[in-house]
Chains A and B, each alone.
Chain A
């Protein structure tokens, strides 16, 4: 008798008997060069655990954390399997069984409670006057931006003010209960139950806003929660309000990136949220001409290995995945790459310096002369 939700069990069955047709698409399989962590390996292991043929131990459970959640496998899977959902459920099984998670992920639930961010404390922000706490529109940066790029938070705040015509509020929860993360990081770390609770709380905390603009690709609030809109989508829908003002088109320095500018399709903004076209339009407006597509782009675009804590679980594999993307960009002659995801940008910057890596928010801000870089 299965303990898995029916769709996941059904998918695991199908994957078990498949000759691993999606394996080439998986950044983890390529990064680690290992059968065990191909989508087939992960799903067939899950099935064997569910059947009781393999005992769920810490060693077995650790394998389920080797997925970036990029959904690239789904591009080629004729069965439309959802591996990230299956793996997050499997990780939840590990935690619920009381088994240890990968060392780097342990204690994320406590960090979340304490700091509002699964990765630990977030740095303080300068220039908080950019924001208006009373605004009906909230900017929820997401933990990647908030923790790893506080300067970028301020830049995007200014950008939103420019685009929307008014300041926005920066949502961080409150001092007693900071909230910098959507809860996705908890779920990806196996703390599924805690993630469910967190999402409810976050949804409640955001309920007072008319609109929430976010750069978080993992946010997944209850359906009756507030309207959440990705930053790229906001920029796209309001392009007429700002594209004429880009410093480049106005003759200023702006986004004076010499050389080829390429676009990397982030997995969350692209395959998950379907913002391929919007991203291209926004970057085109900021650049003054279309960016170059990578040889493999849109739903076929390479995953850099940044998602689902993979760089913490398998740093070497994540480095290989990033290297494959950066290598492809260098092969193409790109000097700058714009990516839809803040997390991707940070991850790729950490693994290569041959190409300048910029996220969309910073790129557009730069094109408007915001930030003075």
Chain B
């Protein structure tokens, strides 16, 4: 029986903010918000155990201001706050605990604006995925985010959970789709993660976007986000393949991704999942698999020991009901069933899909299918199209399992290719005797992939079911951790996996506490989720042992010692870790060039682990021996260090698939200013809470120093194609480049010369991939009325080119020799509308479908006009002589961000031995 957990005074205070009708305290309301889709909660409800997580009340704010006011009311009353979208999470992330206040975001669901070029949209956190996607499709656009839960999940949930959709191999995960977001933090401050809709970051500190994404409500209530959109694909080509084993299938998937292709979908089902999907060599819907399933159920029923069936009444009926509901998922004797499936005829189904405009889809599919046909049997379009038309149906099947008295759950983990099948078998072994298990591999990247396990089990009553369920999870997650894989790829961690987050973020508790100090100093935001109280209590600074320092650092311990040795008031300036202007003469420089080892090269996964002092030139040479390459990284200066490139501030998040150093980082080691070591476990992507790396990536060593990084690199290029495209003006050039990227072209480098209205593009990689992308570029150029001619790829990188960032003409190498440049970031089509004088002397850089930068020599008159151009409409963000200028932030927001970073700095660099934070000034500068 529920009790009244909300005092009248807090209810009336909320009512004064949102209106009485939007404060919910009834029994049915509390019940409805007391659980999400976490199976443990379902088991409890099935057993009649209600109100384990009973909120004090539920409030439904109708605006951002109301959200902020509600947070302040809750904080003042000492009540924990739990943001709630659609409650589709499977990890208990929205469970309010006893007495928490649930803030239901669903009234904030509008598409607030859509950019005129259809590349960005601001959408309320409460919008449901399918409703938003339907609206976009009406306009010929797509977010590209298609989780199985799209019918019942919200944009805010996607952002808070770092979710992934079925097409993530083409469009990325949620963290790749978000430009900026707006949130109310635990202080009740409304904060934009960037000062303008087109800009991506504040200048003063880490990227708050990537800290809030995946925070699952522990740092703030996300109210809206600006997301990157793409044109809706015109053509879809889906197909099925039969692979002899998971090993063969995984290797083919790896080859596909490492060839530079980006299929919308690539999914490999293990043997039993294939059987259920009906994916035999003879195609979908074949009668043989169905007969096999019938036989399997009968065998299972006959084989259940009497001792078990005696304990479980009506086992036969229950088993049959479950089987009927789930195409033969029979349970009762998991060990037996798992053994039976191991003995089944082998063979795995792979579903692959390519989407885009007609030419891109067709040509990319041709390249991809050629790779797959080398190692698998082409089953034709049937299995692929069957999957496509039924892809949202799987979630309908879980009800039957629970109705039968069983439980079913899923676990999504990720790791590198080299570790993938080992992870698969390890988890299967760990779970085998406890529950029935099957899996598919999906969400593929060049470096690795995710495995999506499904397991089903049974217990005689609620308590035994819970015991079995929890035992399965403990065993499964234990196996994941033992394999060094990430405990979550896209479902998030919530409550159910929070205890394991420290394994993904080793030493990360201090970083999370710093984020809390920044945004939730009172610890009211969704407590107990993502990081448990127990994990945070252990966050003592792990001091690396000191020893007498000799010479420059050559190991992490040396760096830690240097930090510890810094005298009071002295700032240590890591060299190669950011563009700093030293404030004081005499402050020690800390050269990191001595940390210059290539630590590990994983050829299969194409990832390399390096120390921060490794240079581009050094890595290029070492990879060449190992048959790898840096491809597009060659645009960086040869003497640039990896640590410097990762620490360098960038005002915009790297574009997806553009091969930047930052985007390639899949693991990180770092040392905070306070001497604590941090390690982000290797995974191509993950959803294990906020991305704590962003206290180091792009943070210019102001919170800590990167000590190692694992990067995805390319294989040795089979082909290299340079293209020079003459355009009729910068508008055409911008449209051409943007269209190429929107069509799926992935080039290793692209520049645009304003002086000559010329686009220089370099395509490198596998021959078939380069060929088809060149065709797409050519057709795009023809459609824009541009003319093409070949460009010598080596000419692109020639050393006498001059610094294009300083405004040198990328073609002739001539031009201004500026040891400083003015740079403007924004949306390509918005930048194309800049004053002609700027466009004439500018060089375009860091270009993607959604953003670009224009670099102008600082000495030109045009450059002087740049600061005045910063305005919200153009969404530009300028850098002038090392000062970053952006949309003048509203004073309260500026103060809130400044205070937040100061609080985080205090936690991570308590003695202030590292470079100070940039000050965010009133005029919008840092």
User: Bound complex: CA of A45 vs CA of B401, how far in Å?
Assistant: 20
User: Bound complex: CA of A16 vs CA of B29, how far in Å?
Assistant: 15
- Neighbouring A residues of B104 by C-beta, 8 Å: 33-35
Q: Tell me the B1-51 residues at the A interface (CB within 8 Å).
A: 21, 24, 26-29, 31-33, 37, 42, 45-46, 48, 50
Set A33, A51, A57, A76: member contacting B106, Cβ < 8 A: A33
Q: Does B683 contact A (CB under 8 A)?
A: no
Question: Contact between A63 and B28 (Cβ–Cβ < 8 Å)?
Answer: yes
Q: Tell me the A3-28 residues at the B interface (CB within 8 Å).
A: 13-24
Beyond A19-B88, A24-B131, A33-B60, whether A48 also contacts B31 by CB under 8 A is yes
Q: Mark B44-79, 1 if CB is under 8 A from A, else 0.
A: 011010100000000010000000000000000000
Beyond A18-B396, A20-B87, A53-B50, whether A36 also contacts B107 by CB under 8 A is no
Q: Does B716 contact A (CB under 8 A)?
A: no
- Neighbouring A residues of B149 by C-beta, 8 Å: 19
Question: Contact between A24 and B152 (Cβ–Cβ < 8 Å)?
Answer: yes
Q: Can you name the residue of chain B whose Cβ is closest to the Cβ of A35?
A: B32
Which interface class (under 10, 10 to 19, 20 to 34, 35 or more) fits B? 35 or more
Beyond A23-B86, A48-B50, A51-B48, whether A36 also contacts B29 by CB under 8 A is yes
User: Bound complex: CA of A54 vs CA of B131, how far in Å?
Assistant: 33
Question: Contact between A17 and B86 (Cβ–Cβ < 8 Å)?
Answer: no
Question: Contact between A21 and B152 (Cβ–Cβ < 8 Å)?
Answer: yes
Beyond A13-B403, A63-B28, A76-B151, whether A21 also contacts B106 by CB under 8 A is no
Question: Contact between A21 and B396 (Cβ–Cβ < 8 Å)?
Answer: yes
- Neighbouring B residues of A36 by C-beta, 8 Å: 24, 26, 28-29, 31-33
- Neighbouring B residues of A14 by C-beta, 8 Å: 399-400, 403
Q: Tell me the A26-53 residues at the B interface (CB within 8 Å).
A: 33-36, 38, 41, 44-45, 48, 51, 53
User: Bound complex: CA of A76 vs CA of B46, how far in Å?
Assistant: 24
User: Bound complex: CA of A48 vs CA of B26, how far in Å?
Assistant: 15
Question: Contact between A54 and B402 (Cβ–Cβ < 8 Å)?
Answer: no
Q: Does A316 contact B (CB under 8 A)?
A: yes
User: Bound complex: CA of A236 vs CA of B128, how far in Å?
Assistant: 38
Beyond A36-B32, A57-B27, A63-B28, whether A296 also contacts B152 by CB under 8 A is no
User: Bound complex: CA of A22 vs CA of B150, how far in Å?
Assistant: 10
How many whole Å from A16's CB to the nearest CB in chain B? 7
Question: Contact between A60 and B28 (Cβ–Cβ < 8 Å)?
Answer: yes
Set B88, B107, B152, B398: member contacting A33, Cβ < 8 A: B107
Q: Mark B134-163, 1 if CB is under 8 A from A, else 0.
A: 100010000000000101100000000000
How many whole Å from A33's CB to the nearest CB in chain B? 4
Q: Mark B101-141, 1 if CB is under 8 A from A, else 0.
A: 00010110100000000000000001010110010001000
Beyond A13-B403, A78-B396, whether A34 also contacts B29 by CB under 8 A is yes
How many whole Å from B407's CB to the nearest CB in chain A? 10
How many whole Å from B93's CB to the nearest CB in chain A? 14
Which interface class (under 10, 10 to 19, 20 to 34, 35 or more) fits A? 20 to 34
User: Bound complex: CA of A60 vs CA of B519, how far in Å?
Assistant: 39
Q: Does A59 contact B (CB under 8 A)?
A: yes
How many whole Å from A94's CB to the nearest CB in chain B? 13
Q: Does B393 contact A (CB under 8 A)?
A: yes
Question: Contact between A19 and B106 (Cβ–Cβ < 8 Å)?
Answer: no
Q: Can you name the residue of chain A whose Cβ is closest to the Cβ of B106?
A: A33
How many whole Å from B74's CB to the nearest CB in chain A? 19
Set A19, A45, A60, A296: member contacting B395, Cβ < 8 A: A19
User: Bound complex: CA of A279 vs CA of B247, how far in Å?
Assistant: 56
- Neighbouring B residues of A20 by C-beta, 8 Å: 37, 86-88, 152
How many whole Å from B773's CB to the nearest CB in chain A? 34
- Neighbouring B residues of A60 by C-beta, 8 Å: 26-28
Q: Tell me the A256-314 residues at the B interface (CB within 8 Å).
A: 295-296
- Neighbouring B residues of A48 by C-beta, 8 Å: 31, 45, 50
- Neighbouring B residues of A15 by C-beta, 8 Å: 399
Q: Tell me the A53-80 residues at the B interface (CB within 8 Å).
A: 53-54, 57, 59-60, 63, 76, 78-79
User: Bound complex: CA of A79 vs CA of B26, how far in Å?
Assistant: 30
Question: Contact between A295 and B138 (Cβ–Cβ < 8 Å)?
Answer: yes
Q: Tell me the B364-396 residues at the A interface (CB within 8 Å).
A: 392-393, 395-396
User: Bound complex: CA of A36 vs CA of B403, how far in Å?
Assistant: 21
User: Bound complex: CA of A19 vs CA of B48, how far in Å?
Assistant: 18
User: Bound complex: CA of A14 vs CA of B401, how far in Å?
Assistant: 10
How many whole Å from A357's CB to the nearest CB in chain B? 22
Q: Can you name the residue of chain B whose Cβ is closest to the Cβ of A63?
A: B28
Set B24, B31, B134: member contacting A34, Cβ < 8 A: B24
- Neighbouring A residues of B400 by C-beta, 8 Å: 14
How many whole Å from B88's CB to the nearest CB in chain A? 6
How many whole Å from A96's CB to the nearest CB in chain B? 19
Q: Can you name the residue of chain B whose Cβ is closest to the Cβ of A57?
A: B27
- Neighbouring B residues of A45 by C-beta, 8 Å: 28, 31-32
User: Bound complex: CA of A143 vs CA of B475, how far in Å?
Assistant: 63
Q: Which of B31, B84, B86, B403 has the most CB of A within 10 A?
A: B31
Set B86, B126, B396, B401: member contacting A79, Cβ < 8 A: B396
Question: Contact between A78 and B393 (Cβ–Cβ < 8 Å)?
Answer: yes
User: Bound complex: CA of A24 vs CA of B87, how far in Å?
Assistant: 13
- Neighbouring B residues of A35 by C-beta, 8 Å: 29, 32-33, 84, 87, 104
User: Bound complex: CA of A142 vs CA of B400, how far in Å?
Assistant: 41
Beyond A21-B396, A36-B28, A295-B138, whether A16 also contacts B86 by CB under 8 A is no
How many whole Å from B132's CB to the nearest CB in chain A? 10
Q: Can you name the residue of chain B whose Cβ is closest to the Cβ of A76?
A: B151
User: Bound complex: CA of A48 vs CA of B60, how far in Å?
Assistant: 25
- Neighbouring B residues of A59 by C-beta, 8 Å: 26-28
- Neighbouring A residues of B152 by C-beta, 8 Å: 19-21, 23-24
Q: Can you name the residue of chain B whose Cβ is closest to the Cβ of A19?
A: B37
User: Bound complex: CA of A13 vs CA of B21, how far in Å?
Assistant: 30
- Neighbouring B residues of A79 by C-beta, 8 Å: 396, 399
User: Bound complex: CA of A59 vs CA of B30, how far in Å?
Assistant: 12
Question: Contact between A316 and B21 (Cβ–Cβ < 8 Å)?
Answer: yes
How many whole Å from A79's CB to the nearest CB in chain B? 7
User: Bound complex: CA of A34 vs CA of B25, how far in Å?
Assistant: 12
Question: Contact between B126 and A33 (Cβ–Cβ < 8 Å)?
Answer: yes
Q: Which of A17, A19, A78 has the most CB of B within 10 A?
A: A19
Beyond A17-B402, A18-B398, A19-B88, whether A54 also contacts B151 by CB under 8 A is no
- Neighbouring A residues of B403 by C-beta, 8 Å: 13-14, 17
How many whole Å from A111's CB to the nearest CB in chain B? 27
User: Bound complex: CA of A38 vs CA of B86, how far in Å?
Assistant: 10
How many whole Å from A49's CB to the nearest CB in chain B? 10
User: Bound complex: CA of A20 vs CA of B88, how far in Å?
Assistant: 8
- Neighbouring B residues of A54 by C-beta, 8 Å: 27-28, 31, 50
Question: Contact between B128 and A24 (Cβ–Cβ < 8 Å)?
Answer: yes
User: Bound complex: CA of A78 vs CA of B151, how far in Å?
Assistant: 13
- Neighbouring A residues of B401 by C-beta, 8 Å: 17
Question: Contact between A22 and B107 (Cβ–Cβ < 8 Å)?
Answer: no
Question: Contact between B130 and A24 (Cβ–Cβ < 8 Å)?
Answer: yes
Question: Contact between B28 and A41 (Cβ–Cβ < 8 Å)?
Answer: yes
- Neighbouring A residues of B395 by C-beta, 8 Å: 18-19, 21
How many whole Å from A106's CB to the nearest CB in chain B? 19
Q: Mark A76-94, 1 if CB is under 8 A from B, else 0.
A: 1011000000000000000
Question: Contact between B29 and A19 (Cβ–Cβ < 8 Å)?
Answer: no
- Neighbouring A residues of B128 by C-beta, 8 Å: 23-24
Question: Contact between B109 and A33 (Cβ–Cβ < 8 Å)?
Answer: yes
- Neighbouring B residues of A316 by C-beta, 8 Å: 21
User: Bound complex: CA of A48 vs CA of B30, how far in Å?
Assistant: 14
Beyond A22-B151, A33-B60, A296-B134, whether A17 also contacts B107 by CB under 8 A is no
Q: Pull 6 A–B residue pairs with CB atoms less than 8 Å apart, ordered by A.
A: A21-B151, A33-B104, A36-B31, A53-B50, A60-B26, A295-B138
Closest 3 CB pairs of A and B: A33-B106, A17-B402, A35-B32
A interface, CB within 8 angstroms of B: 13-24, 33-36, 38, 41, 44-45, 48, 51, 53-54, 57, 59-60, 63, 76, 78-79, 295-296, 316
A17-B42, A44-B45, A60-B28 given; 7 more Cβ-contact pairs under 8 Å: A19-B149, A23-B86, A23-B128, A35-B104, A36-B28, A53-B48, A59-B27
